[in-house]
Structure 1
Amino acid sequence: MPMALEDLEAALREGFPDADIQIQDLAGDGDHYRARIVSKAFAGLPRVRQHQLVYAALKGRMGGELHALALETSAPG
Structure 2
Amino acid sequence: MLSSEQLKQYILAGLACEHLEVEGDDGTHFSAVVVSSAFEGKRLIQRHQLVYAALGDRMRAEIHALSMKTLTPAEWQNA
- Partner residue, 1:54: 51
- Partner residue, 1:24: 23
Give RMSD over aligned pairs: 1.1
Q: More helix by proportion, 1 or 2?
A: 2
Q: Kindly tell me the number of residue pairs found equivalent between the two proteins.
A: 74
**Alpha-carbon separation, structure 1, partners of 2:64 and 2:52:** 12
Map 1:1-77 onto structure 2 (within 5 A): 2-25=1-24, 28-77=25-74
Identity %: 38
- Unpaired runs of 5+ residues, structure 2, are 75-79
TM-score (norm 2): 0.85
In the TM superposition, what is the alpha-carbon distance from 1:29 to its structure 2 partner?
1.0
Runs of 4+ in 1 over 2 A off after TM superposition: 16-19
TM-score (norm 1): 0.87
Task: Say whether the 8 Å CA contact 1:13–1:19 is kept in structure 2.
Answer: no
**Alpha-carbon separation, structure 1, partners of 2:12 and 2:2:** 15
